[in-house]
Amino acid sequence: METTRFTHIVVGAGSAGCVVTAKIVENPNSHVLLIEAGPDSNPAGAEVPQGVRNARKVPMKGQSELFDPTIDWNVVVDIPGGQSMIVPQAKIMGGGSSINGGTALRNTAADCREWAGLGNDSWDFDTVSRIYQELEDDELRGTRGLHPIVRTLPDEAGRIQKAFAESALASGFQGVLDFNEPGAEGVGPSPVCRRGHQRVSASNTFIDPIRGRKNLTILTGTEVDMVEFSGKRATGVVLADGRKIAASEEVIISAGGIFSPAILQRSGLGSSSLLNSLGISTISDLPVGHNLSDHVCIPIVAKPRIGAYANDDYSLQMQARWSSSLLPGWTDLQMVCFSYLNAPVPSPGTQARSLSGSAVGHVAGIGCNLNKPTSMGSVMIKCTDAREAPKVAPNYLQTDQDRKAAREVVRKAFEVITSAPMQRVLTEPTGLDVSILESDESLDDWIQRQYSTTYHFSGTCRMADQDKGGVVDQSGRVYGVQGLRVCDASIIPTSPAANTMWTTMMFAQRIGKLVAASYTEEKYVTQDFDKRMVLGASRL
């Protein structure tokens, strides 16, 4: 590998990195190095980590007994009040798509309007809808892309999932079959990425078919320290072990909402005050690591009644989505029914939290999600050591709007979970009753003790005009330098009103096409191409 001439280096083989790599490799003039910190997930290679291919459960600690701790970064997240929680973040080819629930929800038209307000007029709803269509192999929508999307019909669902849908309908929700239809709100099946009972990751779809290409090299089990520069131009990467690898054209950072900003900061891209305090020379003074967003989740859990759950049931099948009284038309609230969480007994003295709330063992229930949070946090490195995790502070539920929205979704979920259909399959909710719901103050206290995360970290390398807090422009290029892009959830301008995986892959599909089309052996041709894109004349 040391003698190989790489045109592009992609750092991180997650949901974004796999997609962007596949698009660049389509250009035969390129030679791409894809670097992943975790192990490979190729079924033809080493043994696939436990639980990764089984779509019936989510192979994360706290969700299933089937999980592999070696493929999880186990990120420690600070939360208000001096507490912390450990949040799963995938460390494997395919990234989150290899271990998450596989939900493939499109972002909304309201999201695109919000993004345009930050200077991203090329990411309008019609354009992103076409990019989604390119990705999706969805029989219901009639699309024939590469990545499979399926839905479980309500009458095919497990008993707990079926009861949730029945209860939500009785509580006033409309039935919805396709949540990716613009404006769809109600209750129905989640669109998920699987074939049969097998989870299908971004690595399965986009990397496995091209592993034999001569212009692709994959390097797993390798952590990246920083981007190397010559002046203002990125020329390659420095690995955590000190080795250097050059890229003649571009470096694309796709390490996710937590680790992409950390790599940039160690490289001299970030707030000059932070960098100066750590003895790092500033190459470009940018708000890297700011605007951290996550969809907070407030779990309402209960024990399944005898016979309500079978071991081959799916944990996730049904959900409800709607707009709060605070944000009509924004689809900012979501309830996700889960049939199975394996809640561990916390160690003495720990402040650990999980989607099980305070319960332990096998529980089921409803995750209450805030899809448009207004509380922003940050990701900041604490030192120059690449093996030292950054300080992650999401700053959950710190605005009045978020607290009001949280009360609204919890009260609706309590109505659903205590209705007759769900009470036939679940016991009464653990630790939550009518007396708590009657008082805003009591409910706020309960929510503060229970809330957790959906693992949807985004926004830390925001795509926006530079005077509006942007780190990258509309094509993912980092301001103030050349030859460097970011392409993952960290560039999403504001939190989408949907699980972030599918939005992340949409951004990667478009930016990957742009990079592939803008490189020839002779020279860059990005300037005119990107100008057309930014002006909205090019619909990739």
Tens of pLDDT along the chain (540 residues)?
A: 455 789 999 999 999 999 999 999 999 999 999 999 998 977 565 566 767 888 888 877 777 777 777 888 888 899 888 888 888 888 989 999 988 889 999 999 999 999 999 999 999 999 999 999 999 999 999 999 999 999 998 778 999 999 999 999 999 999 999 999 999 999 999 999 999 988 999 999 999 999 999 999 999 999 999 999 999 999 999 999 999 999 999 999 999 999 999 999 999 999 999 999 999 999 999 999 999 999 999 999 999 999 999 888 888 999 999 999 999 999 999 999 999 877 766 555 445 566 655 566 788 999 999 999 999 999 999 999 999 999 999 999 999 999 999 999 999 999 999 999 999 999 999 999 999 999 999 999 999 999 988 899 999 999 999 999 999 999 999 999 999 999 999 999 999 999 999 999 999 999 999 999 887 654 433 443 444 444 333 333
Q: Do the domains 1-51+89-148+200-293+377-396+456-540 and 152-189+296-372+397-450 sit in the same CATH topology, yes or no?
A: no
The three-state secondary structure class of 387 is coil
Contact between 105 and 502 under an 8 Å Cβ cutoff? The reply is yes
1-51+89-148+200-293+377-396+456-540 topology per CATH: FAD/NAD(P)-binding domain (3.50.50)
First to last CA, the chain: 33
Residue 487 CA to residue 503 CA, distance in Å, equals 11
Q: What is the pLDDT of residue 533?
A: 45
Residue 154 CA to residue 164 CA, distance in Å, equals 10
Contact between 474 and 120 under an 8 Å Cβ cutoff? The reply is yes
**Looking at the chain, how many residues does it have?**
540
CA nearest 304: which of 315, 296, 294? Answer: 315
Contact between 77 and 392 under an 8 Å Cβ cutoff? The reply is yes
Q: Which two tokens stand for residue 63?
A: 């969700």
Residue 505 CA to residue 254 CA, distance in Å, equals 11
pTM of the predicted structure, to 2 decimals: 0.93
Tokens 């420095």 correspond to what residue? Answer: 238
Contact between 539 and 509 under an 8 Å Cβ cutoff? The reply is no
Residue 98 CA to residue 191 CA, distance in Å, equals 16
94: region left, alpha or beta (phi > 0 left; psi from -120 to 50 alpha): left
Q: What is the pLDDT of residue 68?
A: 77
Q: What is the pLDDT of residue 312?
A: 86
224 marked as part of a ligand binding site: yes
Question: Residue ranges of the domains in the chain?
Answer: 1-51+89-148+200-293+377-396+456-540, 152-189+296-372+397-450
Q: What is the pLDDT of residue 540?
A: 39
**Pairing state between β 452-453 and 296-302:** antiparallel
Q: What is the pLDDT of residue 352?
A: 59
Q: What is the pLDDT of residue 58?
A: 81
Residue 343 CA to residue 375 CA, distance in Å, equals 27
All residues at 6 or more sequence positions from 467 whose CB lies less than 8 Å from its CB, including other chains? none
The b/e string for 325-345 (b: 16+ C-beta within 10 A; e otherwise) is ebbeebbbbbbbbbbbbbbee
Phi/psi of residue 518, each to 5°? -100, 5
Give rounded-to-5 percent helix, strand, coil for the chain.
25, 25, 50
Q: How far is residue 388 CA from its own chain's centroid?
A: 22
Q: Is 152-189+296-372+397-450 a domain of CATH 3.40.630.10?
A: no
All residues at 6 or more sequence positions from 89 whose CB lies less than 8 Å from its CB, including other chains? 72, 73, 74, 75, 96, 256, 258, 455, 457
